[in-house]
Amino acid sequence: MDVFGIPVSLTYKGDPHLKSFPGGLATLLVRAGVFIYFLMQLIQVWQKSTTIQASQYRLDLSKDSRQYNLTDKDFDFAYKLEYIFFQQEPEVYPWVMNAAGRSVQQKIRVKQDIEICKFGRLGLEPNTIDYLNVVKNYYCPKEINFQLQGSYSAQSIKQIQLQVTYCNQTNLDLKYNKTKQLKMKQICKTLGF
């Protein structure tokens, strides 16, 4: 309809529909092509045999033998130690194992040598900005070759444990083969160690 309310239609020689044999044939061919395409897609959907199923996997963690190898190619870490709470005593949670009637875990400790982190560790390159001062303040293990296995309830377990001990003469003797003497007795006494 136009602004005056008169219906507007496209006509050809007074007829609103163009009636010709080639036009009708083209219309039939296009409609047949669309219908055939629809049938082909419907056949493809029915031919696909996809099965969706819910599965459960139960794992006995006490007998889990999977082992994950961590090397310096795919894993890296660094740490920084700071004692901030000078006003509070550090909380110590001792771990005591009772061996009465239970199997005792055999612990094998492997000491890991550490060094100040260098460029090339943790994705740091010499031409990048080190916002956290990792190269100056953080410690990295010299070599990374760890295996992780099991859980606390497993018969066999391999884990990484980072232990921080205060400086005393016993630890110095172990680390430096009795060549260093403790000079920090007053600081240790002040900190309550």
d(CA 51, CA 49): 6
- Residues 6+ away with beta carbon under 8 Å from 171: 165
pLDDT at 88: 46
Distance CA 137, CA 79 (A): 9
Q: Residue 109 corresponds to which tokens in the numbers above? A: 């400790």
Identify the pLDDT of residue 35. Answer: 97
Alpha helix segments (H runs only) across the chain: 21-47, 134-137, 169-176, 185-191
112 domain residue, yes or no: no
Does the pTM surpass 0.85? The reply is no
Helix (H) or strand (E) holding 181: none
Residue keyed to tokens 């100040």? 116
Q: What is the pLDDT along the chain (193 residues), one digit of tens a residue?
A: 777 877 777 676 766 666 677 777 888 999 999 999 999 999 988 887 666 677 787 777 777 778 888 888 888 888 887 765 544 444 444 444 555 655 555 666 777 788 889 998 888 888 888 888 889 888 888 888 888 777 766 666 777 777 776 667 787 787 778 887 776 666 666 656 5
Asked if residue 182 is part of any domain, the answer here is: yes
Distance CA 76, CA 118 (A): 12
Closest CA to 112 of 82, 84, 139, 151: 139
Q: How many domains does the chain have?
A: 1
In the structure encoding, which two tokens stand for residue 119, read together? 């460029």
**Encoded amino acid at 86, one letter:** F
Q: Judge whether 183 lies within some domain.
A: yes
**177: in domain:** yes
Look at the alpha carbons of 22, 26, 27, 28 in this order and tell me if their dihedral is positive or negative. Answer: positive
Answer whether residue 82 is part of any domain: no
- 104 in a structural domain: no
Residue 175 is assigned to a structural domain of this protein: yes
Entry field: residues in the chain: 193
Which pair of tokens denotes residue 113? 């040598």
Q: Does some domain include residue 179? A: yes
- Domain range spanning residue 174? 163-193
